[in-house]
Structure 1
Amino acid sequence: MKKTLIHISVGIALHGLIIAGPAQEIAKKHAAASATELEAYLKTNPKAEDKNDAVELLLMAYDMTGNTKSSAALLQEKFNALGSGADVEARNLFMTTRALFELLKEEGNKKGAQKLLADANKKCAGNEAAAQLAQAFSQMESSLKAPSKGETMDLKFTSLEGKSIDLEAMKGKVILVDFWATWCGPCIAELPNVINAYNNYHSKGFEVIGISLDKAEDKAKLQSFIKDKKMPWPQHFDGLGWANKFAKKYGISGIPATYLIGTDGKIVATNLRGAALEEAVKKHIAK
């Protein structure tokens, strides 16, 4: 019997059940096994009816295992096959372009990201949604102002607590720059991970700098929140919300937005989530 995607999914699920160890490691091993079988499935069944589903599942597996190189290559292949003009499905073009764009941006490949957007604009020419797509791609391009891996940030200010903060003077430490706000649900959801990493590695040279996008009228709420959540790190607060000095300078268009700075003062990772933050901190503290 020909091996189908359903057989692969069931087989991998059963494989995941017998792996011992922490939940995260189980998930990673499960995803790695899924990726291997999905790659084989696509290679032997290049015209399978469920090819699109297989590609999406493979991208999910790559994402869970941190295989950004393979993710980018697969997304580029998917992008190239989308067609152009009236033949291209607008939503598919947008979603594929955005996913590949974010990967390229996080890797610091701004030239590659700009070329992708130029190619995407060519693909959508003649499409009934061309105007909307062009506007979306323009907004994506503006986000390239945000710093990326290998670049530096210039942060010098007086904190909410009245202390002088200078990122340049903190070289030699690993630092997380965290753009956030008390009204931001995803920011609050990630906060326990930031607190855990800080508590576990602060004594070894890990620091956090918060950039609050709260508004002036919420200053008391911000101060109370920081105290209640036991967040001892410095906060920049100018009460301007999205017009925050550093948010504007670095093109921040969504939060949480985080930048992990290595001991040499250069960005080593961006927008780390969950356990990936502490893993990265541990890795760079040890260098």
Structure 2
Amino acid sequence: MKRTSFYASLGLALSSLLIAGPAQDIVNKHAKATAAELEAYLKENPDAEDKSRAHQALLVSYNTTGETQKSIGIFQEKFDALGSGAEVPTMALYSTTNSLCNLMLKAGMKKEAGAVVAQAIEKATGNPKEAQLKQAFQTLQGRLNKPGKGDTMAMKFTSVQGEEIDLAAMKGKVVLIDFWATWCGPCIAELPHVMKTYEKYHEQGFEVIGISLDKKSDRAKLEAFIEKRKMPWPQHFEEEQSGNRFAIEYGITSIPATFLIGKDGTIVATNLRGEALEKTVGEHIAK
């Protein structure tokens, strides 16, 4: 197939997606036809000048028909072809890795996505933007590690108040891990619910661990806020590096983010809000 005829047929196939119709199968029919023609074109012309455009059009078709595995194949090919070190294009490495991992997560391939991130970190070694790339990939790795119900978390640190905190030593208690910041409006709005629940159940074995995402220059502001609001639970605050290590490790990209740890040390609920927090804590304290 010549390049001109490829674009003519591609345009016709894509325009057919605009046909009005009450059923999704009409769209799927034309998307599958487009994909089939593009696949044939690339098979006949593996080194086509417009290969990148053909891939983009294929991705549109695969997205329409829900063929995630085929989309993964395209991004895997792009990822493998990127090379490594000083020559690898910075934005291409990040965007390709990010897209590939998102598709793998969608397909339930969490382990495979983690392997891709590890490879991406290796590819970034020796790149002029190595530090920025590796930080971005560590954040992506954190997203893959974001815990859910049934998972466990590990935390050991010295709190702002000077206490030695080890989450593992709290097994047998119900513990709320609360990622928050003084600048976070929704976090502050939830604080009365956390305080009420703490006061009601603390004597029965309920604990709270605050993980502050305040800037490392704002320790005094954080301490003043804790004192003013009379928050009695321990707070973790990062002063020695950029970004909170627990937020990075567990893929926290927005706050408030909470994880309720049951007496057995596993997560029993996430992102509880309002009265749901008090109710759920009460249920697990009673167990």
Give the TM interval when normalised to the shorter protein: 0.5 to 0.7
Letter in 2 for 1:151: D
User: Which 5+ residue runs of structure 2 have no aligned equivalent?
Assistant: 1-23, 32-61, 69-94, 107-139
Equivalent pair of 2:258/2:272 in contact (CA under 8 Å): yes
> Once the 2 structures are TM-superposed, how far is the Cα of residue 213 of structure 1 from its aligned partner?
0.4
Equivalent position of 1:264 in the other structure: 264
> Are 1:285 and 2:263 counterparts?
no
Letter in 1 for 2:102: S
Q: Distance in 1 between matches of 2:25 and 2:176?
A: 38
Equivalent position of 1:228 in the other structure: 228
Q: Distance in 2 between matches of 1:167 and 1:220?
A: 25
Residues 1:232 and 1:138: Cα distance change in structure 2 (over 3 Å): same
Equivalent position of 1:198 in the other structure: 198
Equivalent position of 1:248 in the other structure: 248
Residues 1:235 and 1:136: Cα distance change in structure 2 (over 3 Å): farther
Structure 1 vs Structure 2 CA RMSD: 3.4
Alignment: residue pair count:
174
Equivalent position of 1:162 in the other structure: 162
Letter in 2 for 1:273: R
> Once the 2 structures are TM-superposed, how far is the Cα of residue 138 of structure 1 from its aligned partner?
2.7
> Are 1:138 and 2:102 counterparts?
yes
Equivalent position of 1:67 in the other structure: none
Letter in 1 for 2:251: G
Equivalent position of 1:153 in the other structure: 153
Q: Deviations over 1:168-224 (max 9, x none)?
A: 001110000000000011111111110000011101100000000001211111001
Q: Distance in 1 between matches of 2:248 and 2:99?
A: 20
- Report the TM-score when normalising by structure 1: 0.53
Q: Distance in 2 between matches of 1:247 and 1:191?
A: 19
Equivalent pair of 1:121/1:137 in contact (CA under 8 Å): no
Equivalent pair of 2:160/2:236 in contact (CA under 8 Å): yes
Letter in 2 for 1:263: K
Q: Secondary structure at the match of 1:182?
A: coil
Letter in 2 for 1:160: V
Residues 1:87 and 1:195: Cα distance change in structure 2 (over 3 Å): farther
Q: Distance in 2 between matches of 1:265 and 1:138?
A: 29
Equivalent pair of 1:201/1:282 in contact (CA under 8 Å): yes
Equivalent position of 1:123 in the other structure: 66
Residues 1:193 and 1:85: Cα distance change in structure 2 (over 3 Å): farther
- Percent identity, aligned pairs only? 56
Equivalent pair of 2:28/2:64 in contact (CA under 8 Å): no
Residues 1:87 and 1:188: Cα distance change in structure 2 (over 3 Å): farther
- Report the TM-score when normalising by structure 2: 0.53
Letter in 2 for 1:138: N
> Once the 2 structures are TM-superposed, how far is the Cα of residue 285 of structure 1 from its aligned partner?
0.1
Q: Deviations over 1:124-166 (max 9, x none)?
A: 98xxxxx9xx859839875342111111100000001111000
Letter in 2 for 1:210: G
Q: Deviations over 1:97-142 (max 9, x none)?
A: xxxxxxxxxxxxxxxxxxxxxx9686398xxxxx9xx859839875
User: Which 5+ residue runs of structure 1 have no aligned equivalent?
Assistant: 1-80, 89-118, 126-130
> Once the 2 structures are TM-superposed, how far is the Cα of residue 239 of structure 1 from its aligned partner?
3.5
Residues 1:225 and 1:268: Cα distance change in structure 2 (over 3 Å): same
Based on CA coordinates, which of the two structures has the bigger radius of gyration? 2
Q: Distance in 2 between matches of 1:241 and 1:185?
A: 24
Equivalent position of 2:176 in the other structure: 176
